[in-house]
Amino acid sequence: MGRDELSLLPPSPPNATRARLYGIIAVVTLFLLLLSTRSAPISEVEIDWVPKFTKQRPSSSHANSASKELVVDGVGRHTGTIIFLHGLGGTPEMCMQLVNNIRPRLHQISWRLPNAGLIPVTANRGMPMSAWFNMNSLEVLGDDKLPPDDDEKGLHIGVKRVHDIIAGELKMGIDAKRIVIAGFSQGCAIALLAALSSTEEIGGVMCLSGWLPLANKWDVINGTRMHEMQTDNAADTDVWWGHGVDDKTVPLGWGEKSAKELKELGFGSINFNTYEGLRHWINGKEQEDMGDWLVQRLGIV
């Protein structure tokens, strides 16, 4: 920097003035930080922004080695984790408004938002899109008929990714009972199977506008009906379900049938909630109910 450039800079303030200036900056910074942690106005989740407290980590993917997962750290002592899986065509960033709305009630909880990555999807004319598993068709064959499981291998790969995240949280000292798996639409399908097949006694599974895959893959063992992926302790897992009454993408009937299947598999705690006028989305009332349920399981300890 030359002499002329230096002459354009304002003179340095005296020490007392500089101290006052730094104090003002610190107060303003603290105010903005507190403002950023307040809950955003509750509305349908559609804003995809990433706050500064969010980290990006490389995440293994069956489709795209460059895919990232978002990690939103809790404030202070890390006492629990929510693993949230986005839907078909979605990204972790698209879930951030939801996280931001619920997070002020669960400051000590970290959020892990894996990215499905891009895979060719037959229903998308074979073009790559963000998906946890392939689907041959997106056509709704009937409210009471669950979709065919076209990509069983993809389902198992997605489930393993969730189990790997759980294993990582356990290594960090997080109690399995303070880990909740959640997902929307396709992400719900993976979340359900991951909870069903977990060897850990997790804190619960949150199902949003999704369905139970591989529902016809069950057997009777010692007089008890069990899903082919179901572990012995799985039926003790608490289930919270939210579904829009006007959902035409994943019909309410799929959710109701899935809940019935879970009951027949021995699940005794299923909190099933429906929302009038809601399509394939998440609205403010559902977010409030989600927060209430999560606080019951993952509140301050």
Active site residues: 185, 247, 280
Distance CA 263, CA 268 (A): 6
Q: Are 189 and 155 in contact (CB under 8 A)?
A: yes
Token pair recorded at residue 282: 């998440």
- What is the SS3 string spanning 51-77? CCCEEEEECCCCCCCCCEEEEECCCCC
Q: Kindly list the distances between the CA atom of residue 119 and the CA atoms of 84, 125, 166, 219, 233, in Å, as whole numbers in the listed order.
A: 20, 12, 24, 32, 33
Distance CA 13, CA 56 (A): 39
Q: Kindly list the distances between the CA atom of residue 154 and the CA atoms of 60, 63, 157, 186, in Å, as whole numbers in the listed order.
A: 14, 10, 5, 12
Q: Are 131 and 189 in contact (CB under 8 A)?
A: no
The H or E element spanning position 31 is helix 15-36
